[in-house]
């Protein structure tokens, strides 16, 4: 398949789980990893079957009620229903101890499981990397990671991938290994700086990456899919993906 035929890819966005079919159809066929913010929202989303949307199981660390709702049985069930576990992680807005307990439990239960993790780390990048060092996972994707160069190098050494958006600085984007880059919008967050009008709108991000990496736009789109194919193969996630996405990744 030509890179020009690949649909937009968005590895971290937020979509209401009651989104309608026509609303999804308006997203240009974009493949979207749709994060949920709580186990309750994830359970609602798990009832859906959308060929271009991968619904995550989330417990956003900035929401204390979502963190305390995390249970071992709930995570075990989630790992059978969801390919994506996200949005999870650590945040500096709420108490660290409950967040870390929830994250450690998720990492324990998901160890060796065919899932990818979308990890939030605002204000607690070092602590998050410590958690991944104790409990590494081959499918860890660091969402909008604003760590130092040393922390990026450390995360890369742990095998992490990075979902990036157009609000991030050129300097930080350049620090991330090219083969670990994945695209995101984090829609609807920071729409003014990401310039994402909808989930899956990575046009401005691809323009930025084309200039930064000195690649044609089509080559940037192809790079995203190649990186995702490598990640899903090494985590044994590929067989669990929607058929259309499996076909796209099979051509990479």
pLDDT at 251 over 90: no
State the residue for tokens 């307990």.
101
Q: What pLDDT does residue 73 have? A: 97
Q: What pLDDT does residue 5 have? A: 84
Provide mean pLDDT across the span 91-114. 97
Provide mean pLDDT across the span 124-149. 97
For the stretch 54-96, pLDDT in tens is 999 999 999 999 999 999 999 999 999 999 999 999 999 999 9
Q: What pLDDT does residue 141 have? A: 98
Provide mean pLDDT across the span 202-213. 96
Q: What pLDDT does residue 136 have? A: 96
Distance of CA 117 to the CA centre of its chain: 7
Distance of CA 127 to the CA centre of its chain: 19
Q: What pLDDT does residue 190 have? A: 84
Contacts of 68 (CB under 8 A, 6+ apart): 98, 102
Largest CA distance in the chain: 48
For the stretch 9-38, pLDDT in tens is 999 999 999 999 999 999 999 999 999 999
Structure tokens of 237? 């996630």
Alpha helical stretches, state H, the chain = 21-25, 39-45, 64-68, 72-81, 96-110, 125-134, 149-157, 170-175, 191-194, 203-213, 217-234, 243-250
Q: What pLDDT does residue 246 have? A: 95
CB atoms within 10 A of CB 126: 15
Structure tokens of 168? 């991030």
Closest by CA to 32, choosing from 201, 203, 205, 232, is 201
Distance (Å, rounded) from C-alpha 215 to C-alpha 192? 25
């Amino acid at each position: 398949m030509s890179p020009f035929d690949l649909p937009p890819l968005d590895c971290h966005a937020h979509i209401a789980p009651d989104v309608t079919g026509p609303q999804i159809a308006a997203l240009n066929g974009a493949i979207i990893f749709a994060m949920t913010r709580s186990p309750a929202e994830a359970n609602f989303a798990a009832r859906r079957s959308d060929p271009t949307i991968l619904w995550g199981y989330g417990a956003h660390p900035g929401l204390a009620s979502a963190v305390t709702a995390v249970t071992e049985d709930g995570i075990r069930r989630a790992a059978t229903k969801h390919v994506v576990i996200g949005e999870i992680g650590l945040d500096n807005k709420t108490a660290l101890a409950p967040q870390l307990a929830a994250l450690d439990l998720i990492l324990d239960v998901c160890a060796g499981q065919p899932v990818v993790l979308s990890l939030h780390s605002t204000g607690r990048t070092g602590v998050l990397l410590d958690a991944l060092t104790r409990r590494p996972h081959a499918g860890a994707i660091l969402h909008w990671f604003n760590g130092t160069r040393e922390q990026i190098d450390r995360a890369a050494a742990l095998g992490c991938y990075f979902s990036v958006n157009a609000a991030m600085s050129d300097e930080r984007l350049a620090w991330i290994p090219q083969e670990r880059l994945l695209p995101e919008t984090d829609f609807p967050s920071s729409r003014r700086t990401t310039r994402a009008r909808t989930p899956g709108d990575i046009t401005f991000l691809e323009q930025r990456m084309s200039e930064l990496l000195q690649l044609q736009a089509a080559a940037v789109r192809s790079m995203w899919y190649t990186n995702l194919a490598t990640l899903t193969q090494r985590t044994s996630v590929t067989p669990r993906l929607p058929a259309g996405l499996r076909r796209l990744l099979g051509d990479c």
